[in-house]
Each structure stands twice: as C-alpha cells, then as structure tokens.
Homo-oligomer: A and B are copies of this chain.
C-alpha cells in the first residue's frame, strides 16, 4: 500500500472508485477483476470500497451507469433549432451533433467500449442501462431532425440508427480506417436517407 490515501469527499471518492473500476473492467473480463484489484488500483482498503459498493456486481453496474450518464449528458448534444428550421439547417445541426459525439467517444474510448461491450451474462440491469442510453439518443436525434410521428416504425428506425452509430463508432475506435470527419459524413448521410420519409410525413 504505497499510494497515499488522500481524504476525498464522498462524491469525489465515489467518482474516483468508479473511474478505476471502469478502467479495470474495460481491460479484463468480469471474472478476472476482483474487488481487491479495484481497491488496490484506487489506493484504498477493500473495507472502504465495500462502504461505497456492497459487492463486485454493484460496483460493475455503478461504473456502467456512470459511463452511460456521462455519454448522455456530455456526448449527445443538440442545438436549439427554431420550429421552422429548414432541412439544411437541421442537417448541419445533425452533423455538428455527431462530430461532438465522436470527439467524446475518442476522448473517453475506455468508458465507451466498456458501456457497449461490458455486459456480463444476460443481465437485465446491464441491458436496461444500454437500452436507456439508446432511447435518450434516439429522442434527441428525432427532436433534432424534427422527425415525424412517434409510431412503432419510426421507433424501429430510430433504435436501428442508434445501433448503427454505436457499432460504427466502436469499429472506428478499433480500426481507424476512416477519419472522424469521414465517419460523421457516413452517419449523417445515413440518418438523412433513413429519416427522410419520416421528416417529410411529419
């Protein structure tokens, strides 16, 4: 235990523990990471860690939720557009939003990978976090595009496109075949083509 145990207030300490949990769970499987590993990385006692999180599963879920919250609050932005904004204005706003999203993904690559690949088993709580994040994403995009009615078909396209953004972003992180600008281009054009019929109907 050579790390200095700095006294942090409760929220900051919790955030610090989650950051270490996230880094470890991202690099290894759920099975391979122990509560002791996280405590060691954070330079705290296991007792202190258990004071914040009752067990490994709770720690994992909290780390996942914190990554999801930050994605929703920091990465998914839409500029306020007037109700009468035209197609070109909406398209420019979509591109700017995607560019912001991908910059966030680039900066927080570890958290992003963890959120989208970090499920363990068919855990309903994990699935709920991912699905909640995707819903928030779809809502903002539909708002931004001024896309039409919220019927099952529109919803279906929305979550489909959100899944496309997630997988393409992950792939981009890993292979770097395309530049960020090129990915923004592909995804904006995809959205424009997919949602065009809805926008026109709406």
Give A contacts to B, CB under 8 Å: 25-33, 57, 113-114, 117-123, 127, 134, 152-153, 155-157, 159-168, 171-172, 177-178, 182-183, 186-187, 189-190, 193-194, 196-197
Contact = CB atoms under 8 A, between A and B. Distances in A.
* Most B CB within 10 A of own CB, among A28, A118, A161, A177: A161
A179 to B, nearest CB: 10
A31 B120 contact: yes
Contacts of A122: 25-29, 113-114, 117-118
Contacts of A27: 122
B177 A168 contact: no
Main secondary structure of the interface of A (DSSP, over half): helix
Given A31-B120, A120-B119, A190 B157 contact: yes
A192 to B, nearest CB: 9
Contacts of A183: 156
Contacts of A25: 121-122
Given A167-B160, A168-B156, A117 B119 contact: yes
B120 A120 contact: yes
* Most B CB within 10 A of own CB, among A25, A33, A152, A155: A152
A28 B178 CA distance: 38
B31 A121 contact: yes
Nearest to A172: B156
A120 B121 contact: yes
Given A121-B120, A122-B114, A153 B167 contact: no
Ranked 10 nearest A-B pairs via Cβ? A29-B121, A160-B164, A163-B167, A30-B121, A152-B177, A120-B120, A193-B193, A163-B163, A29-B123, A160-B168
